[in-house]
Structure 1
Amino acid sequence: MTFIRKLLVLTITLIVGFWLGTSGILNGTTVGNWMNTIVSYLPSSGDFDRLDLSFDQTPFINNSFTLPYSSSNDEELEAPSVSSDQADDIDVDLIENTIIRLVNELRDEQGVGTLTSNDMLRSAATIRAIETEELFSHTRPDGSDAFAVFDEEGIHYPYRVAGENLGMATHYLSDEEMAELIFNGWVESEGHYENMIRPDFEEIGVGVHYDGEYLYATQLFGTQQ
């Protein structure tokens, strides 16, 4: 019981002391200066707002997905043009090219050879980026796996091996900085990093989708038969 009384007295003392320190009543006194020093170390509401914002801005990176596959269809098709509804609000080419550049710089550092940009992979990656707004997963909204995207009309990529990386983040930086942010998220994730430096990948396509708040990015890697 004595402990509880002491705890209550301490709590009341701190509350009263905090009020006196913030009200300015004791300004100029030794006690007032001491209280002001304590108050200065306490976080303000603005600090908490910035803390919340930093969590919102952290990119969410989904698990990488790699799959070997063979196809007997050797028909050559021109890659279809696929665009995001909010594409006018961002520089899609800048974001995609920045991500590809960063991937190739990383691969060059690791001595595994750079990747060639492939239009079919880019078109498929754009479809996947749009789909991840609805379902952020390597399973597509219709329940099929990620690489079923190669069965879409106009998409043809007969691959020996393929991989997918997904990423999303609140759009709050410049387009180039957003590309770097998502790329760095992939680098920090073991599975995504392994996809980006996998030696047997030869080609890459990057797709981007922006819904007005979040930026979605998809990397598709592949090696054709």
Structure 2
Amino acid sequence: YYTPLDAIKDIPVIIFKKNLLFLILIIFGFIAFNNLAINEQFNFLGENSTIENIEGSFYDFVLEEPEAISNETKDIEKSIFKYTNDQRKKRGLNELIWDDKLADIAREHSLDMVTNDFLDHINLMGENPTDRATRHKYPIKKYLGGRTYSIGIAENIGSMPTGNVEGIGYIYSDVDSIGKALVDSWMASSGHRENILNPEYDVIGVGVAFDGQYYVATQNFK
């Protein structure tokens, strides 16, 4: 999982901006994996500097809707969305609202991981989730009331096959079973669970891509 700075408390926003002070604390969290199913979480606290708009063909493949992205993977995204909100409702938390632009950012990252064969919150261009949102001109600042605000995009990523999965059991190949298995695996990890159940988040985007064996999923929260 990747969690941004939750809040900057009791500090006037104008002073925070003026002084350009920021604290970055990187905590590598729990990484659980076996030979069939992989989840990764990453904890990041701090404000990220804005990156330059990236031009070129590195991400052009995202617009081509390759086989890795299909109606099936988009249905799995909605299944993940449903089971994520089910977990929140069980605990009396607000339901997350689907954000199309955040879903596009998440889907791009899942497709990038499938295309370039990696599973990480940092892509091959060195961008973390907040950097990727900034490149897409997605607002990363959220005012929490008073003089507090949060900066950044939180993220869960995971990879799930179908069939017999060690440590999980049998995963059927329908979209509902795949989506539920991914959410269940995140809920079994404290860091992923914290992102799913964070009461300060109110929007989510989910992106899924398929590499022929694994369904690679990204959840982005704000």
Superposition TM-score, scaled by structure 2 size: 0.63
State the 1:70 CA deviation: 7.9
Deviations 1:57-112 (A, max 9, x none): x421001445565899xxxxxxxx85752246651232111111111111111122
Change (3 A) 1:84 1:191: farther
Partners of 1:183 and 1:203 lie apart in 2 by 16
2:40 is matched with which residue? Answer: 62
Partners of 1:163 and 1:82 lie apart in 2 by 24
Partners of 1:83 and 1:66 lie apart in 2 by 32
Partners of 1:127 and 1:208 lie apart in 2 by 9
Q: Is this contact kept in 2: 1:61–1:168, CA < 8 A?
A: yes
Number of paired residues?
158
1:136 aligns with 2:119: yes
Q: Is this contact kept in 2: 1:60–1:167, CA < 8 A?
A: yes
SS in 1 for 2:206: strand
Specify every segment of 5 or more residues in structure 1 that has no aligned partner in the other structure, as ranges. 1-54, 73-80
Partners of 1:202 and 1:216 lie apart in 2 by 23
State the 1:132 CA deviation: 2.2
SS in 1 for 2:79: helix
Q: Is this contact kept in 2: 1:129–1:218, CA < 8 A?
A: yes
The within-5 A match list for 1:79-94 is 85-87=66-68, 91-94=72-75
Q: Is this contact kept in 2: 1:66–1:164, CA < 8 A?
A: no
1:114 aligns with 2:95: yes
Relative to its length, the structure with more strand (as a share) is 2
Relative to its length, the structure with more helix (as a share) is 1
Change (3 A) 1:166 1:83: farther
Specify every segment of 5 or more residues in structure 2 that has no aligned partner in the other structure, as ranges. 1-33, 51-61, 142-149, 164-172
Q: Is this contact kept in 2: 1:166–1:217, CA < 8 A?
A: yes
State the 1:138 CA deviation: 1.2
2:208 is matched with which residue? Answer: 208
Change (3 A) 1:83 1:209: farther
State the 1:158 CA deviation: 3.1
Calculate percent identity across the aligned residue pairs.
23
State the 1:163 CA deviation: 0.6
Superposition TM-score, scaled by structure 1 size: 0.62
Bigger-Rg structure (1/2): 1
Among 135, 139, 164, which residue is 1:157 paired with? Answer: 139
Per chain length, whose mean CA-contact separation is higher, i.e. which structure has more relative contact order (CA < 8 Å, sep 6+)? Answer: 2
Partners of 2:196 and 2:103 lie apart in 1 by 15
2:128 is matched with which residue? Answer: 145
